[in-house]
Chains A and B, each alone.
Chain A
Amino acid sequence: ANMKLIFIFSALIGASLCLETFVGHQVLRIKTKNEEEVKQLQLLESLEHLELDFWINPSAPALPVDVRIPAVSVQSVKAFLESQGIEYSILIEDLQDVLDKEKQEMAESAQRQRSSSSFDFGAYHTLDEINNELDNLVSFHSFVEKIQIGESYEKRPMYVLKFSTGRSNRPAIWLDAGIHSREWVTQASALWIANKIASDYGTDPSITSLLDKMDLFLLPVANPDGFVYTHTSNRMWRKTRSKIPGSICVGVDPNRNWDAGFGGPGASNKPCSDSYHGPSANSEVEVKSVVDFIKNHGNFKAFLTLHSYSQLLMYPYGYKCTRPDDYAELESLGRAAANSIRSLYGTTFQVGTICKTIYQASGGSIDWSYDNGIKYSFAFELRDTGRYGFLLPANQIIPAAKETWLGLKKIMEHVRD
C-alpha cells in the first residue's frame, strides 16, 4: 500500500510539472550593481531559445534576480555573466535533487499522517495489528526500542517496548498487560499508554522527568498465544496454550506459575482448571522469559501488571495472607494512586493486599517480583465491576487507559523520587 501511494504521489507531481525532468538545472541568484546590469539581464530574458525561467525578474538594481537555467544553457549563461562582470551565486546546484527530496519528504509525511492517525486506540485489535503499531511507535520515536525477550509456546515473539533516553542500565520500571488473554482492556490500554508516553516525552513535565531518570519496559501482550486464541476460537480463554502431558486439556494459568508460594492455596493442580498452576514454577515459557529478562537486567525498581476486571489496586501478598514488610508504604502509595484514578471519571478502585482484596492466590507475578527485591510491585484490575466484565465495550478503552495511566504515573513518580 505504501509503494502504491509513493507511485501515485510521484505521478501527481510528475503531472503537475508536465512530466519534465530538471536534472542539471541550476538556480542562480544575480546581484546587479547598477541599471546597466539590469538592462543586460533584461536582454537575457528576451532570448527565448535559452528557456530561462526568472523566479525574480530583473527590475531594479537593489533587488536580486533569481533565475532557473536549463542544463544545456548553464555554462553559456555563466560565461556571459562573468564576461559582463555581473556577480552571481548558485542557489540550487541541481534542481532535480531538490525536487526528489521534496517528493520523498511528502510521501513520508503522508505516510506518517496515515500511520499515526490510522491506529484507533479506542478499538480492540488483533495481535498483528498490535505488533504493527509497536513498530510504528519505534519508527517515530528515537528513544523507543522494540526488544524480543523470548517466544511463546506456539513460537510467537514476545515483544517489549523499551523507553530509554540515556545511559545503559538505568533503574527501570516494568509494566505488562494481557497475561490473562481474555482481559482485552489491558492490552488495549497498554497500547494507549505506550503511545501516550512516546508522544508526550519532551512536552509533559512528568513523563519527561520520569524518562530522564529511569527506563520503562512495557510488555503489552504477555500471553500472545492465548490472545490469538481469544480472537480465533474462544473469547473467554485465560491461560497459555501449552500442551500438558497426560491431559486432554490445554494451558496453564500464567499468573499461578511464578515461583512465589508455587503450588500453594489459590491455585489448582488440575490441568483442566482455569487456575491450573502448571507442572512446575516457570514451566511456561511466557513466564520464564520475563523472569530471565528481569533477573538479567538486575536493576528493576517497580513491577506493575494489568488485569481486568474488578477495579482493584493490589500489592503483595497473594500466596500468604500476611502483610509484606513494606505494607505501610505500599498501602499509602496504593491509596494515592487510587485517588488519582478516581480524580478523572470517579472510577473507584479498592486498595489492599491480593489476599485480603480478591482471594488467596499462589504463584502470582507481583509476589515473585516483591520477594526478588522489587519493592514497588502492584497489580491493577481495571474496569469494570461485572456489568460487562471481560467484554468491556470498546468505547471504554480510552477512559480506562487514561484513568489507569494516572494511577501508574503516581506510582512511577514515587519510584523516581
Chain B
Amino acid sequence: QDIDDVGHKYYLELELEDVLDKGRTVHCTAEVLYPLGSKSSAPDVQVAVQGELRSTEEADKEFYNRIRSLEKELVAENIPDSHGNVPPELEPIHLLAWAASGYVTWQNSTENTKFHLAQVKHVKQVKRPDEDLQFDYLLLLHEMVSQEVIPWEVTVLWHPRSGARVPRDRRQPSH
C-alpha cells in the first residue's frame, strides 16, 4: 500500500515455525511500513501472533545457570563451522546470535535488502556485575541483493525473564 508522503506499507500473513519444535506452526500477521526517503530510519513493524509459542522456561534456566557457572568467560568462533557443524553446547549461543541478527536486520532493512545471518565469526562472553548475561558477537550478515557478507559487531544482553536486548551494534567495512 502506497501511503502518500509517508511510505510503503506491507500486510503480511506468516506461518511461524519454531526450529526446536518442528511439525507445528503458529499463524501470525504483520504490518511493515517502510518510511519514504530516509535511509536511517528502521521500518515500523506491528506483529500479532495468533496462538501460543512454546514455553522455553526450562531450557532458558538451564542455559543461564550453565553460563553463569563458567569459571572462564565463554569464547567461541565460526558457528557454524565451514562444514555447517554446530557443537550442541554452542547451539544456544547460535540461536541467541540469530535473534540478535533479527534485531540488526530490522534496524537496517529497506525494501531493497534481504539479510540472513551467515555465520557467528566470533563470540566472547563478558561477565557482568548485574543479572544479565553479556555476549559480544562478531556476526557475518549476508545481504542477498548486493551479495555482500558484512561483519557486524553486536553486543547482546540476555536474561531468562527479560529476553534478549541489543544495546550496541556496529557495522564494519566489508573489505
A358 to B146, CA, bound (A): 11
User: Any chain A CB within 8 A of the CB of B44?
Assistant: no
Given known contacts A236-B149, A275-B146, is B19 in contact with A387 (CB within 8 Å)?
Answer: yes
A236 → chain B closest CB, angstroms: 4
A236 and B118 within 8 A (CB): yes
Using a Cβ–Cβ cut-off of 8 Å, how many residues does chain A contribute to the interface with B?
A: 28
Residues of B136-150 whose CB lies within 8 A of A: 140, 142, 144-149
B85 and A359 within 8 A (CB): no
A310 to B85, CA, bound (A): 19
A393 and B85 within 8 A (CB): yes
Contact of A388 among B80, B145, B174, B175 (CB under 8 A): B80
Please give, as numbers and ranges, the residues of chain A lying within 8 Å of B78 by CB-CB distance: 235
Q: B102-135 CB contact bits vs A (8 Å, 1 = yes)? A: 0000000000000011110000000000000000
Please give, as numbers and ranges, the residues of chain B lying within 8 Å of A310 by CB-CB distance: 144
A115 to B33, CA, bound (A): 58
A389 and B116 within 8 A (CB): yes
Q: A267-305 CB contact bits vs B (8 Å, 1 = yes)? A: 010001111000000000000000000000000000000
Please give, as numbers and ranges, the residues of chain B lying within 8 Å of A392 by CB-CB distance: 84
User: Any chain B CB within 8 A of the CB of A386?
Assistant: yes
B84 and A388 within 8 A (CB): yes
A406 to B87, CA, bound (A): 32
Contact of A235 among B82, B116, B145 (CB under 8 A): B82
User: Any chain A CB within 8 A of the CB of B13?
Assistant: no
A359 to B114, CA, bound (A): 11
User: Any chain B CB within 8 A of the CB of A391?
Assistant: yes
Please give, as numbers and ranges, the residues of chain A lying within 8 Å of B116 by CB-CB distance: 386, 389
Contact of B147 among A249, A275, A386 (CB under 8 A): A275
Please give, as numbers and ranges, the residues of chain B lying within 8 Å of A387 by CB-CB distance: 19
User: Any chain A CB within 8 A of the CB of B81?
Assistant: yes
Please give, as numbers and ranges, the residues of chain A lying within 8 Å of B81 by CB-CB distance: 391
Q: B90-102 CB contact bits vs A (8 Å, 1 = yes)? A: 0000000000000
Contact of B145 among A230, A359, A389 (CB under 8 A): A359
User: Any chain B CB within 8 A of the CB of A124?
Assistant: yes
Q: A214-255 CB contact bits vs B (8 Å, 1 = yes)? A: 000000000000000011000110100000000001000100
Please give, as numbers and ranges, the residues of chain B lying within 8 Å of A272 by CB-CB distance: 174-175
B33 → chain A closest CB, angstroms: 22
A259 to B83, CA, bound (A): 34
A391 and B118 within 8 A (CB): yes
A412 → chain B closest CB, angstroms: 29
Please give, as numbers and ranges, the residues of chain A lying within 8 Å of B175 by CB-CB distance: 249, 272
Which residue numbers of B lie inside 8 Å of A, CB to CB?
A: 19, 78, 80-85, 116-119, 140, 142, 144-149, 174-175
Q: List 17 A-B contacts (CB under 8 A).
A: A123-B83, A124-B82, A184-B82, A235-B82, A235-B119, A236-B142, A272-B175, A274-B148, A274-B149, A386-B116, A386-B117, A389-B118, A391-B82, A391-B83, A392-B84, A393-B84, A394-B85
